[in-house]
Every structure is written in C-alpha cells, then in structure tokens.
Structure 1
Amino acid sequence: MRVLLVEDDEQLSTRLSERLRSAGFAVDLARSRADGEAWPDMDKIAVIILDLGLPDGSGMDLLTHWRRRKVACPILILTARGSWQDKVAGLNAGADDFVVKPVRFEELLARLHALMRREGGARENWIEDAGIRIDPIARVAECEGQPLSLSKQEFRLLSLFVRRAGQVLSQADIGEHLYDLASHYDLNAVEVLVSRLRRKIGRTRIHTVRGLGYRFGA
C-alpha cells in the first residue's frame, strides 16, 4: 500500500521512509505544501502522514485543500506542535489522527493500521476472496486454510488482488500500487511477480485479460 509522507526534514523523512518500507508500505515523499497540492494520483494513496510546519506554508492549509478536493483517504498529522488548540484545529480540518513528535515508530505504525482498518469498515483484520485469506496488519496469508510463504512484494500484490477482486488491473495499475514514484521498475517485473504468485496460490485464481491486464477471483 502507498503512503504519502509530507515532511521537509530530510533526516526524519529518510529514517521514517525506511521504517515504513520495512513495514511493507510503498512510500512517496513530498517536501512542501506545493508538492502536496500538485501530487498526482491521489486516488492511489492509502494513507497520508502530514507535517504542519512546511517551508512554503501551513500543513493545515494543505489538509484543508485536500479535503475540499474530495481526497478521502485517512490523513494522520505528525507534528511537533502539541497544544490542544492545534489538535482541535487539525481534527476539525479533516485529519483522522494527530500524533505529536517524537513518537515511537511502533505506535505510529499501530495508528496507521488502525486508520486503514477503520477506512475499510472491518472489525476483523482478515480479508477473504476465492479461497484466499489475508491479514494486512499481521501480513500473513492463507490459501484454502493453509499458510502461504510470500515475499514482501508477493504479499503486497496478493493484498491488492484480494481487495480489488473481480476488477481488471493493468500492469501499470499494479506497478503504481507496489512501487513508490521514485522507484524504477519495468512492466516485466510486474509480469514476473504475477507469475511467481500464481505458482503459490494456483494459476486459476489470477486470470489474464488479453490486452488489459489481470483479474483476481473465481
């Protein structure tokens, strides 16, 4: 899943990006309010982490801009501003959570997972389709009740397929979800990844739609 991190502190953004990637996220980084306002493909972003102190303006104004533009994904404010007035203003402007720096990464990760569970409207972590069950929080998967041994990218791909079961996903669609914008990949890498996943979950679950892409499901 893709997370957009809006943070101008280079050291903090680098450390946090690395930790998020190690936790299974694809991370896009914006360093200013202008970058955030102009960011492409906001519909591909699963969650946003937003700093309020940006070099070219207020993160609060950026938050308001996104909500006015109907950006619906969860937004978590991560800031050094810890007054109750800032918290109230952020939540009233449309933030889903407000975390004060410094914070342990484990707590931040738990809050991100909670936001995504809330966004999905599910009380349980498990998501299921076509005999496949995945827990996106614990990052475990089962096929017909048997545990699957998957790489990080294979698990990301399977999660995408299960969440979008029945939809046709092009190789470009898959690449946009699996890799952050700064990553370099080719469509052959997506094809190889799909092939590897097919061998593990059964070839009949991932259908090739000629000229269009892939569709997951019975």
Structure 2
Amino acid sequence: SKVDIETSSSGHERISVSELPYMVNKAKLIERIRELVLEKKLEGITAIRDESDQNGLRIAIDVGRDANANVVLNNLYKQTLLQTSFSFNMIAINHGKPETMSLKQILVAYLEHQREIIRRRTEFDLKKAQDRAHILEGLRIALDHIDAIIELIRSSNTSEIAKNEFINRYQLSDKQAQAILDMRLVLLTGFELAKVETEYTELVKSIEDFKDILA
C-alpha cells in the first residue's frame, strides 16, 4: 500500500493509506484490521476509519500515544493484506519468439520497441516531407521564372520536349519538371504564391525536426 505517517497537532500519530495493492478489497481489509485489534493480535491502534471520498481512497488508522507508528505499520504489513504479493505470467513475445523475461527485460524490450516505432514513423514522415519539399523547390523556381516557363511551354511541340528543357535549363529533376507541367494557373495568384512559400518554410522546419529525432 501507499502510506504516510502523519502527526496531529496534539502529537498523536496516524497512518494514512491512499493506495491498496492490486485486488485488495478495502472493506474486507478494514474489517480484518478491526478483528485483529479485538483479538489483541494487533496492538497500538486506537481507531480505524474509512475517509475515502470523491478525491480518492483514504483509510485513517489512529495510533495510540504509547505506540510507535512504524512498529504498528510493520505489524500491519505482516498480518494483513496492507502488503501483499501476487504472481503473473512473465512469458512475452520478444523478436517473434516466446521468452520468460524479468521485469527489467520486459521494460527494456518495450523501450526498444517504442524506439523502433518512432524511428520507422519518423523515417516515413521525413521521406514524405522531403519528397514534397523537392516538388515545391521546383515550383518555386518555375514561379520565379514564370514568363520564361510559359514561353518555353508555348514554343515546345510536345510536353516531353518542354520537360526536358526545364531539366536542362534549370537543373530540375524529372519529378520537378513534371510538377511544373501539371501546375495549375491558380498558383500564379498572390495568395497561392504565399501558400507555396509558407508550406515550403514549414516543410524545411519539419525536415530538420525529423532529422533531430532520428539523430
């Protein structure tokens, strides 16, 4: 149990219980303590009260003036379920195989699993952000040279020729060149231009964050 030893203004000690062990029934525990006190198997206890309310569990055990609260508490641990133990199955699947593991081994395995999840998720998010930033970099170049881009498209007989010209003239990748060909005219408005810049700035920051996480 989780307990605190309190001292009142009059000098009396009190054992205050705020948590009980797993599966221990509060009412039965209080009844058992009372029985042991009546049978004089537990000494030093003058009163026991259930003071639990909406704020949580609280059992108040008043200790007599001539008794020592720590001695009383040790006797409670020995003779009641205020302190108890229970067993549970420590077999876990670790790296695809069942193993009997200690609590520390289970915690370490769990942390390693969480690291792997975070690493995979961050690598996925980083790749997605880098791919999108790559496209936006191409669009930013095109928007900076929009008159030349439009003229190049007009003068090209096919979209493939125009794309190759983009690649050669502006050192763009195939994906960037294709994104320029697929670019909507609405991107030429001031509002859309600002959105491209905002998205690119945010992606650059996200990419740095993802790299920091992986590092």
TM range (shorter): under 0.3
TM-score w.r.t. length of structure 1: 0.19
Larger radius of gyration: 2
TM-score w.r.t. length of structure 2: 0.19
Name the one with the larger strand percent: 1
